[in-house]
Structure 1
Amino acid sequence: MLRGNVLNADDLERHPSNEESHGNITGFLARLPGRFAGVLVIVVCWQQSTNVRADESTAALLASGHAPTFSWDFGARWEDVDTPDLFSNVIFPGMPGQLEPADTAGLRTSLSFRLPLQDTGIGPFFLEWDAAISRAGGSSGRVVQPTGSGFDLAAGEPAGGIISLATVGDIGGATAAGTIHFKDSSRDPARIMAFAHSPAGDNAITQYATSGTQTGAAFLALVTRGNTPSAAAYAAFADDRGLFFQALGDLDGTVVRSTIEQRARHFDQTLWLGAALELGNGWTVTPRLGPTYRSTRQDTTFRTEVDIAESIMSGASIPAIGYQERVNVSADYYGVLAGFSAETPVTENLLLRINVSGGAAHYRARLDNRATAIFPESDITFSSSEQGRRGGTFLADASAVIILSSRESFSLKFEAGTSFLADTPIYRSGKLGTESTQSYYLAVGLEHRF
């Protein structure tokens, strides 16, 4: 049977001073039998721990780093990317104002999961897996109205051919004639002859013809209008070595349309090993180190084509003639990153976190380049190449995060960041080269502590 002192109401009186309360409790426990006192010690300690946790701010809990954490965010991403050398062997109207597409912009999403290792007995360390996926794109266009009575468009170095064009417009009407003799790279010949005349008045002719060869094709088109009167003639030949196009006459309404489209895809992931160090000034600094993998792919398409103006009254439509080039570059990066995050409560429910990292990586880059002539029957491929490149590079990342917390396990976060890559593959002067790139992102997301 347990025996002890009889408790009075005064012995259980609460005092405002923590020190006095601790003294009273200690004295009270000293007067109790051993087993009963031990039970009360456990109850009192549990109650004090509960009170402390209930009074902790959410920002302090976020900074503690002692619980598994999952976060997700979604936002916008844009980057500075130069246009590949697409027209190094191309001549077309309007070339002095070469196209410069806008910075590629798109969407980005990322995931992160942190697992503390205290329970494994390793120490105050954690493992964290970060991954991000983004897709971005940009485009620009230009329409040029050729001036004068003729122009040429050339790409590559096609096999020999002879083009003869003539146009006349007078009070008697409009006349156009043309002849093309062409032998492709395999010496397979093609020949087209055509004539068109529209008497004065509401008369018009729009006609075209093609002739295929073993590795290429020839094209001839004539347009006449009797009411103007005006006439125009167009001819082209192409094979697996290049394209040549020529226009002559009244080119009113004929335009050269050029576009550049760029698409980029990126994937990053890093596995971190780190440990949180609490400083005395309210900051928590977390050094970390780990392997990283990154991949990037950029697809660029350049297209320029001649939109030939038909004589509307005839109702015929002439297919476009032009040039298209696709450049696909990609790279994989394998490396090691080192960095740190620093965080501090700004207010009771607001946390500021800064992330900085940098490292080195080995990359493997690839290039797939293909150029084609745009022709009525089918496009003709006249240039293609595949190249590879390897080397070492430097990469760095930095971001700032604002976390808005509540008493619940979920928190809302806003993040802005930038990434630098010293060697990004790019097509330069017919070869696969590299240059540095900088990307930026803004994101909003959720953070959940288990």
Structure 2
Amino acid sequence: MPAARVSQRISAIAESATLAVDAKAKALKAAGRPVIGFGAGEPDFPTPGYIVQAAIEAASQPKYHRYSPAGGLPELKQAIADKTLRDSGYKAEASQVLVTNGGKQAVYNTFATLVDPGDEVIVPTPFWTTYPEAIRLAGGVPVEVFAGPEQDYLVTVEQLEAALTERTKILLFVSPSNPTGSVYSPEQVREIGLWAASKGLWVVTDEIYEHLTYDGVPFTSIATAVPELGDKVVILNGVAKTYAMTGWRVGWMIGPADVIKAATNLQSHATSNVSNIPQVAALAAVSGPLTAVDEMKVAFDRRRKAIVAGLNAIDGVECPTPKGAFYVYADVRGLLGKEFETANGTVRPQTSAELAALILDEVEVAVVPGEAFGPSGYLRLSYALGDDDLATGVARLQGFLGKAK
């Protein structure tokens, strides 16, 4: 038999479901279709002007036209360390920071650096679609621990204990959560962190939504709340969500110096330095005020309330109120198997993937099915789009889903 053209390792990677849905929505829009996209977690606001101006000024400076250190501009690494102490109370040195090409490279670098073949990583589920793929690429085994809407999509120590084996090396911890918007309380964070510390586990914590919590719910960094973890914690973060900078591609990881050095060696061969101009923009972002962030948060909060109310008005849909990020994770199991009348006859979707495809075809609203994040039966919708689009999209969903028999 001829050899496969693509390696088994890469062939096994699933396409990013969120980006696939977003790409399809944008393609339909480009073709003139009035598609409303709830797919990508991308703020509709422009990047704040002072950040853009910093990039414009940097572009004219010859020193930024050259290679820079693979691990990041020294001044940006220090600013990230300072910002982390300011925002989460976690003290780190600049040598413990690696600047990456977006948050995704931080995720990949971390698991590639920590995981050996066969190592297990506990992944609270629903999960962001990239986590298990990065773990598998490193040769690791993602172990899903599912928490449903009846527990606000928050896993318990008892569930984590049940998933623990002698091969477990890492606990992935994400709060606020993508895709659910759930936020662990300070007490829950402390309890889970102490459990991980007692088992000698590494904790990889993704804190990219740290500034987006609502209803007075605090953000709690597990790295700060549980000093007992010692040097077995890695923090993932970036500028994309907080500062409306998804396209600038600047993220980072913070961890023990030896882990960061190893991850930097990896990045030196994979991509070398992050583009200097976005790094300067990120420096302006993390060093600057949070005024623009607070303004965006007001809009996100308004949209959060509107989309939850709109979805819960549909029979067969149950949508918990998220406390963070800018997503809702709607339980649509009550709609599966129901009859929907279409131009091509009666359709009975049996999975959330089939339901999402039907919604896009029939009313041109793009949502991401639960299969991208764990079990079927759910839909993720981002409310980071404009108010008018949100209202139009929810009205279309109500009109279509409300006719299920």
> TM-score of the superposition, structure 2-length normalised?
0.20
Q: Which has the larger radius of gyration?
A: 1
Q: Quick one: higher RCO (CA 8 Å, sep 6+), 1 or 2? A: 2
Q: Which has the higher helix share?
A: 2
> TM-score of the superposition, structure 1-length normalised?
0.19
